Chains A and B, each alone.
Chain A
Amino acid sequence: MLLHRFILRSALVLFLGSGQLSGAASGDDAAALLRGSVEEVLSIAYSGHTNETLAARVRPALEKCFAFDIVTRQAMGRGWRQFSATEQKRVTDLFSELMIRTYSGRVVGTQRPKIVFGSPVATASDRCEIPTRVTTSSSNDPIAVVYRMIKLPAGWRIYDVLIEGVSFVANYRAQFDELIQKGGALAAIRSLEAKLAQPLPSHS
């Protein structure tokens, strides 16, 4: 009954924190870099390109700033340890593809959102959460988006996004848990391949 509001309000915001985040040593630095990255990605997203070209254009930026390998491992949960190295690589590639496609599908056909950044909150010595409020043309109310970031040797990376309290990785982990328990890595790979073979939905 109420979920459609959440899903629609989450349009655009899933990956708006993308862009390269590196070299920062504190939450404040991560926030400053996130702010710059948002601007970079929005510039790409709203430069008038079509859905197909946008996916290809944003891919390099997303690969640099998102810890796709960590996001994938979290989404697969404990089942990840049962995968062979080849299966892990294949799942990571497919899941990264799904995330990039999701981003591209959500950005097209909407107006540039307004984003207000909150102060970063340190959750560990190498991790922080950055709250933001996003206002889109398709939603009256601002959307609460929290970016979870981790400091890796290569720099700060996003490892989860919470939209209105819903964790992206936890949601996928719930989906993959039963799938992997029943069919292992093969089931995960087949479901991702099947999902990527489907066309994107059109906007009203």
Chain B
Amino acid sequence: MNQSIFSILVLLLCLSGCAVSGNHSAAKAVPVHPSAGDADFTNVPVQKTNDPLQRLNRSTFRFNDELNTYALRPLAHGYAAIVPRPVRTGVTNFFDNVNYPVRFINSVLQGKITRSAQETGKFVVNSTVGVGGLIRVSDHISSLADVPAEDFGQTLGVWGICPGPYIVIPVLGPSDCRDLVGFAGDYAMNPLNWHTLGIIHCAFISDAVSIALSGTRFVNGLPKSVESYDQLKAEAVDPYVAMRDAYLSYRAAQVKK
């Protein structure tokens, strides 16, 4: 089943018109600051975006907005009221630490050996001194602090695969074809999903435990996600375009790191 989904995603990526070249991109690089000759500062072109599914995407965006308003925001506020911020941070740190294989494998796949060694160092230090990853002790070690997190979407970008069309996914939000495939790849590399995928069989991890862990991770991240979305919506005159531009620019910058 999971292989089928992955195959569909790969097919989507291929059908999106992607090629292993930089000629087609969701956000074509254009200068975003005025040249010295642009006297009135208005002659900078708008970034061209690959958004052929805009009508569908806007509908999905509206659905996600309603979902955020009537379900996720109340849930996030309730969770934040019950669970104090330090505990939420600890839970986030734990799941980030468990996600180490994703960052390590993708660093290796991108040929960033030093970064993969740093990720290993972070994992060892945080898992031991940081009490199973709850505390990010590595932040206080200069050589292990501020290591950019790699994922499979970035790996595909480094390999020269273009982002493809912009897509808004129900519940999850903005993405593009490349990141959709990357999401599936990261899912498979995350140890929390190995039991579900049948990669490992552990007697004390049942499907229920696996689902509970995924649910905890999702709910724990909700307060931040909802706050972020509310901020963007409050500041944007067109939240859909603001989200799309920010997402594509952000991911393009991450690939270059």
State yes or no: do A and B come from one complex: yes
C-alpha spacing A109/B227, complex, angstroms: 12
Q: How far is the CB of A117 from chain B (nearest CB, A)?
A: 15
B42 at the A interface (CB under 8 A): yes
A192 at the B interface (CB under 8 A): yes
Looking at chain B's contact residues, the main secondary structure is helix
Q: Are B183 and A141 in contact (CB under 8 A)?
A: no
A-B contacts, 24 listed (Cβ < 8 Å): A1-B172, A1-B173, A2-B179, A3-B173, A3-B247, A3-B250, A4-B225, A74-B33, A81-B40, A140-B136, A148-B33, A165-B252, A166-B250, A170-B44, A171-B246, A173-B44, A173-B46, A174-B47, A177-B46, A179-B238, A192-B237, A201-B230, A204-B223, A204-B224
Contacts of A175 in B (CB 8 A): 236-238, 241-242, 245
C-alpha spacing A77/B139, complex, angstroms: 41
Q: Are B235 and A102 in contact (CB under 8 A)?
A: yes
A176 at the B interface (CB under 8 A): yes
B77 at the A interface (CB under 8 A): yes
Binds B, one of A5-13, A26-34, A44-52: A5-13
B204-246, CB under 8 A of A: which get 1 and which 0? 0000000000000000010111111111111111100111111
A164's partner among B32, B169, B245, B253 (CB-CB below 8 A) is B253
Q: Are A1 and B234 in contact (CB under 8 A)?
A: no
Q: Are A124 and B36 in contact (CB under 8 A)?
A: yes
Contacts of A98 in B (CB 8 A): 235
Cβ < 8 Å to B, chain A residues 172-204:
172-179, 188, 191-192, 195, 198, 200-201, 203-204
From A76, which residue of chain B is reached at the shortest CB distance? B42
C-alpha spacing A6/B146, complex, angstroms: 15
A64 at the B interface (CB under 8 A): no
C-alpha spacing A50/B174, complex, angstroms: 33
Contacts of A177 in B (CB 8 A): 46
Contacts of A54 in B (CB 8 A): none
C-alpha spacing A195/B224, complex, angstroms: 23
A170 in contact with B47 given A8-B228, A73-B41 (CB within 8 Å):
yes
A40-82, CB under 8 A of B: which get 1 and which 0? 0000000000000000000000000000001001101111110
C-alpha spacing A191/B173, complex, angstroms: 24
Q: How far is the CB of B81 from chain A (nearest CB, A)?
A: 9
A133 at the B interface (CB under 8 A): yes
A80's partner among B42, B228, B232 (CB-CB below 8 A) is B42
Contacts of A167 in B (CB 8 A): 32-33, 249
Q: Interface on B for A, CB 8 Å cutoff?
A: 32-34, 36, 40-47, 49, 76-77, 80, 89, 92-93, 96, 136, 139, 145-146, 149, 151, 169, 172-175, 179, 183, 221, 223-238, 241-247, 249-254, 256
Interface size class of A (residues with CB under 8 A): 35 or more
Contacts of B226 in A (CB 8 A): 204
Contacts of A160 in B (CB 8 A): 32-33
Q: How far is the CB of A195 from chain B (nearest CB, A)?
A: 6
CB within 8 Å: A-B pair count:
168
Q: Are B250 and A201 in contact (CB under 8 A)?
A: no
Q: Are A204 and B80 in contact (CB under 8 A)?
A: yes
Contacts of B241 in A (CB 8 A): 174-175, 178
From A148, which residue of chain B is reached at the shortest CB distance? B33
C-alpha spacing A192/B254, complex, angstroms: 31
A133-161, CB under 8 A of B: which get 1 and which 0? 10000101110000010000000000110
Q: How far is the CB of B12 from chain A (nearest CB, A)?
A: 16
C-alpha spacing A172/B89, complex, angstroms: 32
C-alpha spacing A30/B226, complex, angstroms: 36
A16 at the B interface (CB under 8 A): no
Q: Are A70 and B245 in contact (CB under 8 A)?
A: no
Q: Are B179 and A1 in contact (CB under 8 A)?
A: yes
B249's partner among A2, A81, A171, A191 (CB-CB below 8 A) is A171
Q: Are B146 and A133 in contact (CB under 8 A)?
A: yes
C-alpha spacing A164/B41, complex, angstroms: 23
Cβ < 8 Å to B, chain A residues 91-123:
98, 102, 105-106, 123
Contacts of A4 in B (CB 8 A): 173, 221, 224-225, 228-229
A73's partner among B42, B221, B256 (CB-CB below 8 A) is B42
Q: Are B250 and A176 in contact (CB under 8 A)?
A: no
